Amino acid sequence: MVRHRLKSRLSSIFRRQAAESDLQRELQSHLDLETAEQHESGLPADQAYYAARRAFGNPTLVTEDVRESWSLAWLEHFFRDLRYGARSLLKSPGFSAVAVLTLALGIGANTAIFSAIDVLMLRPLPFSSPDQLVRIYSIKTGIADTFGNPDGPSAPDVRDFAQRSHSFQKIVVYDTWRKNVSFGDLAGEPEQMRVGLVPAAYFEILDVKPIAGRLFTEDENQVGKNFVAAISAGLWKDRFAADPSILGRTIRINGEPYTIVAVMPDLTPERVESGLLDSPKVWTPFAFSDVWSETSRGERGYLALARLKPGVPLEQAQADLSVIAAALAAAHPVDQGVSVSIKKLADTRAGSLRPMLFLLMGAVCLILLIACVNLANLLLARNSARQRELAVRTALGSARRGLIRQLLAETLLLSLAGAAAGLLLAKAGLASVMMLHPANLPQLEALEIDWRVLTFTLSISLVTALLFGLAPAITGTRLNLVDALKQGGRSGTAGKGGKRMRNLLVATEMAMSLMLLVAASLVVQSLARLNRQSLGIRQDHLLKGHFYVPGVRYPDPSAIARFCDQFANKIRALPGVIDATVTTIYPPNNGWTQMLGIPGHPATRIQDIPAAQFGVADAHFRTTLAIPLVRGRDFAESDIATSPPVALVTEEFRRRYFPSQDPLGQKIHIGPPQFMQLPSGAGVTDSSDVTIVGIIGDFRNNGLALPPEPQIVVLYSQHPLVNYGFKDIVIRTASEPSSLAPAIRRQLHDLDSDMPFAEVQTMEALVEEESGGERFTAVLLSLFAAAGLVLAIVGIYGVVSFAVAQRNQELALRIALGATRANVLWLVLKQGLEMATIGAAIGLLGACATQKLTSSLLFGISPVDPATFAGGAALLLAVAAMASAIPGVRVMRIDPSEVLRQD
Amino acid sequence: MNPKTSPNRRELLQGTLDMLILRTLLFGPAHGHQIAKHIQRTTDDVLQVEHGSLYPALHRMQQKGWIISQWESINEGKREFKFYRLTKTGRKQLASEESKWKQLAKAIALVMSPASSEE
């Protein structure tokens, strides 16, 4: 059937020749008869022929109309138009090159940003029925939680959600912890990595099946039976060379042996959200001794994943859980004020990048529009230069419709060529963005140009072709034949309408380019402000690294304290080290919020309990980081485990909790008040009260962009209950800090060969990474603004030169009649400046209108900053003046006698 | 012949022109020139059939299967013309277009001269 149809199509193409001559023969016979009749009615032979022709009309047009009634005619037209288009474009290579480059910039930028948006927001997740997958969060109103994780639920809460809700197939609670993992002597150095603590349900919800081996059993979720591990396919290849006999082998996690029972695919939500580097590649069962007991209900910060029942909408599931959360809040004091929120897993990908992506998408849209405007202008100029050609073709019988179609075919060709070049540009651009390697944008790892991106590029190039091609094609073919032919191509009438349109387009272009300029400048300024932020410490010559002292070999807090002291002492003895401190605190983020009991701040409701950023350190903390001591004394070597516990607090702490009192000598209780009835074993409280002995300067502990929060620092040697194995070491060096990293690693290895030294970074690198997202936006936006400005310059230059070429005679005449060269220059400059001024005004209004979009990305600067607005507008005007000065200077050199003698 | 106007007028006349052609062919086969002349003559030169519309219409109707064409010579082979003749579907088409036309004409007559509408 299909074959038959194809055959008949093909034969119809071959029949075309026959049909064509048949038609000619038919029309000829008609003409002949008409001529004969005219002759018979008395006209001489030659006049009879013309009379017949007149009566018949335009034979070419009749032929075309008839042809159109034949099938496939449109396809042939299309190819013919493309062929003509290609030929005419090749005839003006300069124009074509500029056009393709312009489009490549616009389409390339859009393609690159779209591929990022696609990866982060649009593309379906690589799991089965990904729309059913959701994350569950707990949201606290006005209460700081014990571990500083703002929105993870607790295990008992999730268990109750699972038991009482009706909207889910399955709900799982799990976690990821950084642990020391050794793969055995043959498989290389130990490594600190995130280990997934997951029951089998985690993989079942995702519908991810083992490549080899089996999922964990229910039994293995019990402490003591949990020494089994699953590894990722990637790890299996990297560390074990994809050894087929991997199952049954042993790896050591935090010093304890685990048997490998499964190899899992690399596919997990963490992989999508955090990228390859930081996603778990090892999983062990979710086994905690007391995680399910009622006393753990306040221990939030776990991760929760669920699969909705088919057909259950998100809102219904949310309502279902909200009812349960309200019941829990009524039944349990620690759940007071805690509500629940669910989010589609697909929507958690972009995270904080969302506003940035929207801004960038807006920016690239502007660039594409500017490119379109530029091209529309170029085409307008080109078409008016081609007016004679078009007029001749109309006179020879082409229908206007056909001319428009053919002009559009040209723009389509340009657009497709631009798309191809744009793709290459996008590919190169993405590669260089990856070189910037923004460490806190791991989601961009999956960026690639695939068929989805190609489809997008093709569609925008088609839309683009229409956008920039339609208006010039329509105005270009609105010809007055007699005028166009008579003018002999001398100056080609750029009608008043055409000129106004070109000026309007350039003004629009200027406006858009100014909007880009303002946005880029604002983001760059706020980045500079962010980087100028004082951390409150001396940030040069500082190195930091993380290590974990595992409980297996260091079973009690005093063993951990001993190890930390020993390590710090060895480091302090190294040449090139000025000071070192083992601590859990370093700027710009702390992330451990602790409830406190403070005299003068009684709390009966959970919302009123005082809280502060909390951390433990050794006595060298303040001196190593070089934080100023405001009043009182620093920690001393004499503050030991058995002496009365002491604390340092920051100025902000004093302002918040002791506004009118002297905090020195005051006693503070570490932990929530008794009425919350949290067991001390949960590790959230500490029996001993501490005495404030010193006030130190504020330092950034809540990110670069937010003001410092109240901070309290205690000694780990004096607080065994909060002396966990997780520790950082911060080192003040005399020389380049990163050069000391190998020596420090060696010291740690000497103390414990199973302990990896992780997250080694200079403080400066850390701060830079912290503002990575902002820098990424700033770099891209600046590039886009530059591209927009260049396009705008080309646009204004093009229009002014074209106008000058048209007015050559007039200007020459003016000079001949006594106008000074300066007068003439001003005449030309004025045109460019007029457009730029109108454009600048519109652009500033546009920037005001879009301030909502930019404001979320700015820090310490208003989205309508007057200086930035003024500067941007001034730059635009200057550039416009320069671009128009080039043709202006050319005009000054006109020799009037020569110009006026032409034609 | 102004290239600007012909497509528009053809659009306007299309339905009517088709009917007139079919009606003309009801008397027997005819070639394009004859069809044009016949319509012109029978309407006392009121309707000038534009050739720019006639031939595309003929080819279109042929594709729809209302008419078929054949080259035939007249005057003992002195001249050859492409003759069109009505098909069965063409007759049916004519019938339906005619009745539609009559309805329309009647309706217009009712509006234009209400008194004389009763026959």
Q: Which of B4, B53, B60 sits opposite A400 (nearest CB)?
A: B4
Asked if the Cβ–Cβ distance from A58 to B55 is below 8 Å, we say no
| A26 reaches B (C-beta below 8 A) | yes
Q: Which of A29, A70, A398 sits opposite B79 (nearest CB)?
A: A29
**Taking all residues of chain A, what is their mean pLDDT, rounded to a whole number?**
84
The pLDDT of A759-775, averaged and rounded, is: 85
Helix (H) or strand (E) holding A760: strand A758-762
Phi, psi of A636 (to 5 degrees): -130, 160
Distance of CA A755 to the CA centre of its chain: 36
Asked if the Cβ–Cβ distance from A58 to B1 is below 8 Å, we say yes
Q: Who has greater pLDDT, A339 or A697?
A: A697
Q: Which of A22, A56, A400 sits opposite B51 (nearest CB)?
A: A56
Contact between A149 and A303 (Cβ < 8 Å): no
Work out the minimum CA distance from B85 to partner chain A, whole angstroms. Answer: 15
Q: What is the rounded distance in angstroms from the CA atom of residue A788 to the CA atom of residue A783?
A: 9
pLDDT band at B119 (very low <50, low <70, confident <90, very high): very low
pLDDT(A637) > 60: yes
Nearest residue in B to A30, CA atom: B33
- Residues of chain A in contact with residue B7, where contact means CB-CB under 8 angstroms, are 65, 399, 401
Confirm whether B119 is domain-assigned: no
Work out the minimum CA distance from A818 to partner chain B, whole angstroms. Answer: 47
In the prediction, which pLDDT does A247 show?
Answer: 93
* Structural domains counted in chain B: 1
Asked if the Cβ–Cβ distance from A34 to B33 is below 8 Å, we say yes
User: Among the ranges A101-110, A477-486, A562-571, A796-805, which has the highest mean pLDDT value?
Assistant: A562-571
Q: Who has greater pLDDT, B75 or A670?
A: A670
The pLDDT of A487-504, averaged and rounded, is: 59
Asked if the Cβ–Cβ distance from B31 to A32 is below 8 Å, we say no
DSSP A118: I
Return the half-sphere exposure (C-beta side, CA atoms, 13 A cut-off) of residue A819: 19
- Domain span holding position B84: 6-113
Q: What is the DSSP string of A687-706?
A: SSEEEEEEEE-----B-SSS
Counts for chain B of helices (H) and strands (E), in that order:
4, 3
- Residues of chain A in contact with residue B50, where contact means CB-CB under 8 angstroms, are 57
Asked if the Cβ–Cβ distance from B6 to A69 is below 8 Å, we say no
If we measure between CA atoms, which residue out of A594, A598, A609 comes closest to residue A676? A609
Contact between B70 and B82 (Cβ < 8 Å): yes
The model's pLDDT over A344-382, given as tens digits with 9 standing for 90+, comes to 888 887 766 777 888 888 889 888 888 888 888 888 777
The model's pLDDT over A56-98, given as tens digits with 9 standing for 90+, comes to 777 777 787 777 666 555 666 778 888 888 888 888 888 888 8
Place of tokens 């500082």: A542
pLDDT band at A730 (very low <50, low <70, confident <90, very high): very high
pLDDT(B101) > 90: no
Asked if the Cβ–Cβ distance from A56 to B63 is below 8 Å, we say no
pLDDT(A4) > 80: no
The model's pLDDT over A531-583, given as tens digits with 9 standing for 90+, comes to 887 889 998 999 999 999 988 889 889 999 999 999 999 999 999 999 999 99
Asked if the Cβ–Cβ distance from B56 to A65 is below 8 Å, we say yes
What does the domain layout of chain A look like in residue ranges? Answer: 2-70, 130-348, 352-530+772-901, 550-754
Instruction: Say whether pTM exceeds 0.90.
Output: no
In the prediction, which pLDDT does B8 show?
Answer: 36
Work out the minimum CA distance from B1 to partner chain A, whole angstroms. Answer: 6
If we measure between CA atoms, which residue out of A140, A102, A647, A656 comes closest to residue A371? A102
Asked if the Cβ–Cβ distance from B55 to A27 is below 8 Å, we say yes
Asked if the Cβ–Cβ distance from A26 to B82 is below 8 Å, we say yes
In the prediction, which pLDDT does A553 show?
Answer: 86
Work out the minimum CA distance from B106 to partner chain A, whole angstroms. Answer: 33
The pLDDT of A315-333, averaged and rounded, is: 91
Q: Who has greater pLDDT, A711 or A381?
A: A711
In the prediction, which pLDDT does A445 show?
Answer: 66
Helix (H) or strand (E) holding A612: strand A611-617
Q: How many CB pairs under 8 A join A and B?
A: 70
The pLDDT of B79-87, averaged and rounded, is: 87
Q: What is the rounded distance in angstroms from the CA atom of residue A746 to the CA atom of residue A762?
A: 18
Confirm whether B1 is domain-assigned: no
| B6 reaches A (C-beta below 8 A) | yes
DSSP A346: G
Confirm whether B21 is domain-assigned: yes
| A66 reaches B (C-beta below 8 A) | yes
The model's pLDDT over A803-856, given as tens digits with 9 standing for 90+, comes to 887 777 788 888 888 888 888 888 888 888 988 999 999 999 999 988 887 887
Confirm whether B118 is domain-assigned: no
Asked if the Cβ–Cβ distance from A66 to B32 is below 8 Å, we say no
| B60 reaches A (C-beta below 8 A) | yes
Q: Tell me the residue type at A190.
A: P
Work out the minimum CA distance from A72 to partner chain B, whole angstroms. Answer: 13
Q: What is the rounded distance in angstroms from the CA atom of residue A767 to the CA atom of residue A775?
A: 11
Q: A250-253 and A168-182: which strand pairing?
A: antiparallel
Asked if the Cβ–Cβ distance from B32 to A26 is below 8 Å, we say yes
Work out the minimum CA distance from B34 to partner chain A, whole angstroms. Answer: 9
- Residues of chain B in contact with residue A57, where contact means CB-CB under 8 angstroms, are 1, 6, 50-52
User: Among the ranges A108-112, A116-120, A624-628, which has the highest mean pLDDT value?
Assistant: A624-628
Nearest residue in A to B5, CA atom: A399
